[in-house]
Structure 1
């Protein structure tokens, strides 16, 4: 039985460990320097406007495209970058469990047998025989040790490891957000390219029709050989633009397959049918600037890393203080195995151990200066991360409205170009205009239609960038499926 004085000593040690103040500064969550409201803009005649309302977490659903929502869900579950980030999170939690175990006593059981023989000139046998006689020694018992965290060094280590685990979790959230946004971007680019290709092929059909019509008029003596050559050159130029766009469609389908961890051409059957370019809602909720620091995973990760750096100062300061370790053992010892359970075989030992750093060659002070500098760096990184997030949101809002204005103007340009083409064709058929006017009008239609489709896609891409910059989307992330052993997770 442990003596009463030892019980009191343990009770005092526990009280000091639990109630003692931890060395080093306490972490204070930094305040993100953000405006109270987003900057007002001249919205003009933009059909879709940002509003200060709670953002839609599942922002991809606002595009109203079920296939897009399905692809994003599949990418979230299957993407290997998401699963790698999840493994990093499990590793950080396992590391936290290891550090937390340092604050607990260590208890080991032991048992052993030794056949010994001392030298004749050395120690005598415990039985009184000469030194050359051998003897058996049977032992069994329990050893325990516990470092008293009187100064809070171990608690700071646990705090530091916990903050790093939080940073790993925010890194996973950031990967989920990026994968979802990248899937949406590639899908919108695919739809935009497919529609551009459709416009190009329709224009090619019209150019081939004009070529046949010009050849017929040449046989009738109405058109010239120059008109035929010009029509043929235009048709060939349009035809040459088809393969690069078709290649781009194939590359975007493979890019989506890569995000879903599928082999090349795995999505071609699902995506080959041309669909409309997803458009955004009439009102885009963007929330308040003060909420940005709670939504953006990069800001949350920067704050967690700052927390870990501040806790690291406490760990470094704790190395300057003495370390007190309580150790004890309780067991049995006998020369004969059948005597191991006798009353006389009992043994125990208990006592504290003190370790005081006296000379470390400047190692401890250098480590403390390093940790303080790392904390200052983490604070600067946090400030820069917040400022960058603010810029990204502001730029995304501006781009979204600018692309909408450009899209409306290009729609008018496309309508006017088509009217001009019809007039040029009528005048040429009536003999009141040269064929070069038809070619010029047809080129204008192709250019305006291509630009119109491209800008429609750019509007949706700007909206994806806005959603990404606002930091929405990771909150609804489901835990990815992991095939490897995750039993290390606490």
Structure 2
């Protein structure tokens, strides 16, 4: 008995002394793109007056100071179905963390059974036939696995990192939902404005039709002038259904984003006829702040951490596993259970070791390859984040220049159209000159409205690229 105790004690002491955590300890690699100085400095396109290097506020859509927009985004961040899916995935990841953490605990089990049976006499080296008896078995057992080589620790690292990646995925969904809600609202406003512009141009053209008809009736004009004027009016009228359809479609899209049916949102009477405007330059910060804020960068980094920890899990499989166990109970004739003659107990370590073969070592190589792939993906996400932000800044700056040129063209075309109408009414110019001027004005008005819409969308694209909108978001409805 003393010899057994000594052996068990020496085994445990040796095992505890040998405890280590195999596999690489995680840190962001020095060669990762996220650590490059060029990735953490000011943006190339952040030099114009339309943007500033001030930090991006958390609820960037509030910069528009539009209560309707703020309410829609709040609804979307609470009830959007994609957010509910991401939230459910996060809860599942957290449950896995709890399951993995529980592997470090002592595991207990109980068993009880009864049967009427006849045992074989020869298994007890007895030649007589044994009688039929009622047998019973009651027992309890405990097991605790020693984490000698860090398999459980690395498993916990991987599970926690995966859960953090799932949390980042929820934040990424929040960013996307907020931006898409603002985008749909902007498109609704743009369709409303283009509808008003088209209606205004139609009203002006209808007045031109009346003028041409009166001049023709008075003998000062030709009937062909009336026909041309009416044709232009019909062409402008044909644009109205398209703009109305676009406005309705954006409302239906908004309804999905905020988790409502189209009829529910229509009843809320969301009606906008001018794009929301910013009263200050867009605060963009710098590359370091953007990379730290964007959830997809954080998600990719956590996935790299999980992949690195899994190398340790695969490596620990190459080494022995020791489990401390203990059991006690009663086994025997049912009526004798609880008596000393049916009592049994035991405790001690259980050592298991599957001798490593080429397959086991291949699993380590596979885990290392997964880690390399995760690093490459992490670098790709970082580079793509920088590309998206610089691209959004460039388009915004150039569309601002185009918008200024179109605004000047619209003003000149409007003045020219007014002058030609007066000349035609006075009989000092042919109607074709007035008609061409009206067409030019209508074209420039439509182009300017489309440019204003694109500018508003450029702002949304830039805010989306900067990655804000997930901080302090409301709880997601289940």
2:383 aligned to 360, 383, 387, which one?
387
With over 3 angstroms needed to count, the CA separation of the structure-2 counterparts of 1:115 and 1:14, relative to structure 1, is: farther
Farther off after superposition, 132-141 or 323-332: 132-141
Distance 1:11 1:354 in 2: 11
With over 3 angstroms needed to count, the CA separation of the structure-2 counterparts of 1:122 and 1:71, relative to structure 1, is: same
User: Corresponding residue for 1:36?
Assistant: 41
Distance 1:42 1:295 in 2: 21
TM-score, normalised on structure 1?
Answer: 0.90
1:236-290 Cα shifts (integer Å, max 9, x gaps)? 1111111111111111111111112222243234345443210123132222211
1:346 aligned to 339, 343, 346, which one?
343
Farther off after superposition, 253-262 or 185-194: 253-262
Distance 1:329 1:186 in 2: 65
Check conservation: 1:118, 1:124, Cα contact below 8 A. Answer: no
1:320-374 Cα shifts (integer Å, max 9, x gaps)? 111122222022334243x4334554321122222222264x2212211211111
Alignment of 1:146-161 (within 5 A): 146-161=144-159
User: Corresponding residue for 2:120?
Assistant: 119
Question: Is it true that 1:52 corresponds to 2:53 in the alignment?
Answer: yes
Alignment of 1:448-459 (within 5 A): 448-459=444-455
Question: Is it true that 1:312 corresponds to 2:310 in the alignment?
Answer: yes
1:180-213 Cα shifts (integer Å, max 9, x gaps)? 1000001001101110010101111111121122
Distance 1:325 1:251 in 2: 63
1:431-470 Cα shifts (integer Å, max 9, x gaps)? 1111111111111111111122222222221111111111
Distance 2:90 2:138 in 1: 41
User: Corresponding residue for 1:63?
Assistant: 64
User: Corresponding residue for 2:352?
Assistant: 355
2:262 is paired with a residue of what secondary structure?
Answer: coil
Quote the RMSD (CA, aligned, Å): 2.4
Check conservation: 2:175, 2:469, Cα contact below 8 A. Answer: yes
Alignment of 1:54-453 (within 5 A): 54-119=55-120, 121-123=122-124, 130-271=128-269, 273-337=271-335, 339-358=336-355, 360=357, 362-453=358-449
Unaligned ranges ≥5, structure 1: 483-490
1:137 is paired with a residue of what secondary structure?
Answer: strand
Distance 2:132 2:327 in 1: 27
Check conservation: 1:280, 1:463, Cα contact below 8 A. Answer: no
Distance 1:383 1:419 in 2: 54
With over 3 angstroms needed to count, the CA separation of the structure-2 counterparts of 1:406 and 1:67, relative to structure 1, is: same
With over 3 angstroms needed to count, the CA separation of the structure-2 counterparts of 1:445 and 1:123, relative to structure 1, is: same
Farther off after superposition, 255-264 or 416-425: 255-264
Check conservation: 2:45, 2:393, Cα contact below 8 A. Answer: no
Check conservation: 1:253, 1:271, Cα contact below 8 A. Answer: no
1:480 is paired with a residue of what secondary structure?
Answer: coil
Q: Which has the larger share of helix? A: 2
2:322 is paired with a residue of what secondary structure?
Answer: strand
Unaligned ranges ≥5, structure 2: none
TM-score, normalised on structure 2?
Answer: 0.92
